[in-house]
Chain A
Amino acid sequence: MCLIGQILMDKTKLTPARILVSFVTAGVILGALGIYEPIYKYGKAGASVPLPGFGYALAKGAIKDVEKYGLIGAFTGGLKATAAGVSAAIFFGYIMALVSKPRTKK
């Protein structure tokens, strides 16, 4: 997976940000088409830790909630499934940014 990313990065000179975006979107599409499921079963964390896994979780969450709650599920599902990752990223990111440089007071 990271191999594909590196090839993309070297060959097309895309910025990491665009790689991130395209990988997440690719994960959503693969997840929606049901292609990512077997990869996930086979690769376990090897498939869930890279960003396509994030996209896969988004797609899976959306589909699951549509089944459960109908139309509104399309809007609630994706973020619900990735809430832990996103909240953790925001929270830890903020904390680390706070403590990583010498504090202004004292």
Chain B
Amino acid sequence: MEKKAEKNISNDFSKMVNEKNPESTLLKDCILAFVIGGLICDVGQFFMNLFLSYGVSNDDIGYYVAAIMVFLGAFLTGIGVYDDIAKYAGAGTVVPITGFANSIVAPAMEFKNEGYVFGIGGKMFVIAGPVLVYGVSSSVIVGLIYYFLMR
């Protein structure tokens, strides 16, 4: 009985969610995500050109841009601006690497009062941890496959 009632509630809920989420928000969200995501990448491109003009080699340029973008993401999260942008941009702020920085700083700030070791140090990787785990694991697999294919 209880299960059934629960199911009814969850059905009603998903109906309500669908009603409150008409197609038009998808389009609007997509445009916002596209524009803001594009702007973030433009900032990256700006730094890329800047460093290239300083004579940084093409292979290293990725490191510089990544570090700068991560710093910007962390900084904007720290002063609270990033979350304001994220409200409008949705995935536009999540997908760029600045979103990766945001996902590290935000929980670290939130759990600061749990202490410096388990609060900041531990919670930093609540979201970033899985990203690193799956990213690095799959890169190791790629490397192994490549090794055995090339022999």
B104 contacts A93, C-beta separation under 8 Å: yes
Interface residues on A, range: 35 or more
CB atoms of A96 and B138 under 8 A apart: no
Q: Could you say which of A10, A79, A86, A98 contacts B26, with CB atoms under 8 Å apart?
A: A10
Assembled-state Cα–Cα distance A82/B88 (Å): 29
> Chain B residues near A55 (CB, 8 Å)?
135, 138-139
Is B132 interfacial (CB 8 A cutoff)? yes
Pair B90/A50 contact, Cβ less than 8 Å: no
Quote the shortest CB–CB distance from A104 to chain B (angstroms): 9
CB distance from A62 to the nearest CB of B (A): 3
Most chain B Cβ neighbours within 10 Å, of A28, A45, A50, A89: A89
Tell whether A78 pairs with B75 under 8 Å between CB atoms, given A2-B37, A45-B44, A49-B69.
Answer: no
- Chain B contacts for A71, CB-based, 8 A: 144, 147
| B74 engages A16 (CB within 8 Å) | no
The answer to whether B136 touches A58 (Cβ under 8 A) is yes
B124 near A7 with CB under 8 A, answer: no
Determine the main DSSP class of B at the interface with A: helix
Could you mark each residue 29-70 of chain A with 1 if its beta carbon is under 8 Å from any beta carbon of chain B, else 0? 101100000000001111011110111011101110111001
Check if B71 sits within 8 Å of A2, measured CB to CB: no
Scoring A74, A86, A97, A98 by chain B CB atoms within 10 A of each residue's CB, the highest score goes to A97
Asked if residues B134 and A19 are in contact (CB atoms below 8 Å), the reply is: no
Query: CB-CB contacts of B48-92 with A at 8 A, as 1s and 0s?
Result: 100000000000001111110111001101110000000001111
In the complex formed, the residue of B with least CB distance to A84 is B63
Given contacts A1-B95, A51-B100, contact A10 B25 (CB under 8 A): yes
Q: Which residues of A contact B101 (CB under 8 A)?
A: 89, 92-93
Could you jot down 8 A-B contacts, CB within 8 Å?
A: A16-B99, A20-B99, A24-B138, A25-B135, A58-B138, A59-B138, A74-B143, A93-B101
The 7 closest A-B pairs by CB, nearest first: A2-B37, A74-B143, A78-B139, A5-B91, A62-B143, A45-B44, A96-B78
Q: Which residues of A contact B (CB under 8 A)?
A: 1-3, 5-11, 16-17, 19-21, 23-25, 27-29, 31-32, 43-46, 48-51, 53-55, 57-59, 61-63, 65-67, 70-71, 73-75, 77-79, 82-86, 88-90, 92-101
